[in-house]
Amino acid sequence: MQSVAATHDRTAFAALFGYFAPRVKAFLMRSGLSANMAEEVTQETMLAMWHKASYFDPSRAGVSTWIYAIARNQRIDRLRREQTHTIDRHLDPSDELEPPDSGEDIALVAERDEQVRTALAALSSEQATIVHLSFFADKPHAEIARELGIPLGTVKSRIRLALNRLRSLLGDET
Amino acid sequence: MTINHHPSDATLLRHAAGTLGAGPAVVIAAHLEGCESCRRRISEFESVGGAILEGMPLEPLKTDALARVLERLDLPPSSPRSGSLVTRHHRLVGLELPPSLHHCEIGPWRWLGPGFRWSKVSIPGSSDAKVMLLKGRAGLKLPAHGHGGTEFLQVLSGSLFDERGRYHPGDLDEADIDVDHQPVVGPDSECICLVALEGDTRLHSALGRLLWPFVGF
Ligand SMILES: [Zn+2]
């Protein structure tokens, strides 16, 4: 990433592409995009990463979070464009969706990633499953109920418990 | 500005995951503009997203994917987004609207009841989003209502209170199916709120039934 930022080095870019693109594509398919659309959005994501690399002060940690945010935004953009029949650049809704962390000190992101990963590892497997499934579905409740074999009526409180636990593991006041 | 009412963690997670509908997302974005602690929480959930991404199994790309992207690296990025769409009605609202609404179309104020007006907020590309501005005069009592889905309400000016608390500019109230309330506008000034409804508006009992014939969504 350092050399992508500094010299726009294609070799470094290709290495990042090799590592992240298959993960991004899998993530997008898991969140409901068809294989073809996931392929296209993945390519757009990697391209956007290249164009934004100059803002990015690299360090290995934090990169996945940054790419995650770009992929998420590209996915939202794409889904909204599908709905907008007449393309009007002035009505492009996407600029609110810039990754909030693109200009943020990467050391902070790296530190937070570290804390978040430690916290995730400390969740019970049920709670980790809840957090994981919450990322992938528009209506995650049914899927969580099925996956964990719990009644739909208790899913909401289980989600709340899991997120409260995550919050306390991260040391945030409730 | 002290903020006392925030979106739930479950909602912030959906926002960070990009799975929240466009309507609620606009209201949450308006809250985030003024709330540092929720912004921090979003960042944490994005880190969770990064960790999940890192742990995904690999889905191979088409064999020419890298070559195709490399070919495009030197082309200028697709046109920079000009997001701002400030209409006449943006100015007529009578207050500074949150930046999260700058790309939205704001309709004129329309009558909803004595001292009670609403204006439709249209999000380009999301015609089914149910978002509106509501304006009530000081002391206005809204109809008591329950909720058929979640109602997200961000106070922009004035204040509002109900059985559960008092809401000032910057506060976000997330009222779901378990909440029955009768909001009352604070006595000192009119109140303007940004509201998004999730689910079938008609099921949002009093408020939804009141809005539905006008709003038609
Ligand atoms: Zn907040």
Give the largest Cα separation in chain A, rounded: 55
Is the CB of B68 less than 8 angstroms away from the CB of A25? no
Cβ pair B135, B121 in contact under 8 A: no
pLDDT of residue B85: 60
B86 at A interface, C-beta within 8 A: no
B17 touches chain A (CB under 8 A): yes
Least confident of A100-109, B23-32, B136-145: A100-109
Say yes or no to pLDDT of A107 above 90: no
B65 closest CB neighbour out of A21, A92, A167: A21
Average confidence (pLDDT) over A50-73: 74
Q: What is the mean pLDDT of chain B?
A: 85
User: Under an 8 A CB cutoff, do B10 and A160 touch?
Assistant: yes
The whole-number pLDDT of residue B89 equals: 64
Contact B125/A at CB under 8 A: yes
- Which of A55-64, B64-73, B174-183 is the most confident on average? B64-73
Task: Mark yes or no for CB contact B58/A26 under 8 Å.
Answer: yes
Domain housing B169 = 1-217
How many angstroms does the Cα of residue A130 sit away from the middle of ligand 1?
A: 23
What pLDDT shows up at residue B135? 93
Whether residue B216 contacts residue B48, with contact meaning beta carbons closer than 8 Å, is answered with no
Cβ of A18 and B66 within 8 Å? Answer: yes
Range picked from A59-63, A83-87, B78-82, B157-161 for highest mean pLDDT = B157-161
* pLDDT higher than threshold 70 for residue A60: no
Percent of chain B with pLDDT over 90: 50
pLDDT band at B197 (very low <50, low <70, confident <90, very high): confident
User: Can you read off the two tokens belonging to residue B114?
Assistant: 């004595």
% chain A with pLDDT above 70: 75
Chain A contact for B83, CB < 8 A?
yes
pLDDT at B79: 54
3 state SS of B129: strand
Helices (H) and strands (E) in chain A, counts: 8, 0
Q: To which residue do tokens 């934004």 refer?
A: A52
B50 contacts in chain A (CB < 8 Å): 62, 64-68, 113
B125–A100 CB contact, under 8 Å: no
Q: What percent of chain B has pLDDT over 70?
A: 82
Q: How close B140 gets to chain A, by Cα (Å)?
A: 33
Question: What is the mean pLDDT of the segment spanning B79-84?
Answer: 51
CATH code (residue B103) = 2.60.120.10
Nearest to B177 by CA among B144, B149, B145, B208: B149
In chain A, residues with a C-beta closer than 8 Å to the C-beta of B179 are none
> What's the total number of domains in chain B?
1
Between B42, B61, B103, which is nearest A91 by CB?
Answer: B103
CA of B63 to the centre of ligand 1 (A): 45
Does the pLDDT at position B167 exceed 50? yes
pLDDT the model gives residue B80: 47
Angle, helix A35-52 to helix A10-30, in steps of 10 degrees: 140
Structure confidence by residue, pLDDT tens digits, B48-79: 999 999 999 999 999 999 999 999 988 877 65
Would you say residue A77 has pLDDT above 50? Answer: yes
Contact flag B19-A137 (C-beta cutoff 8 Å): yes
- Centroid of ligand 1 to alpha carbon of A12 (angstroms): 39
The per-residue pLDDT for B126 is: 83
**Which residues, 6 or more positions from A136, have their beta carbon under 8 angstroms from its beta carbon?**
A30, A31, A32, A143, B17, B19
pLDDT at B206: 60
- Contact with chain A for residue B74, Cβ under 8 A: no
Over residues B13-20, mean pLDDT: 93
List of domains in chain A? 2-90 (1.10.1740.10), 119-170 (1.10.10.10)
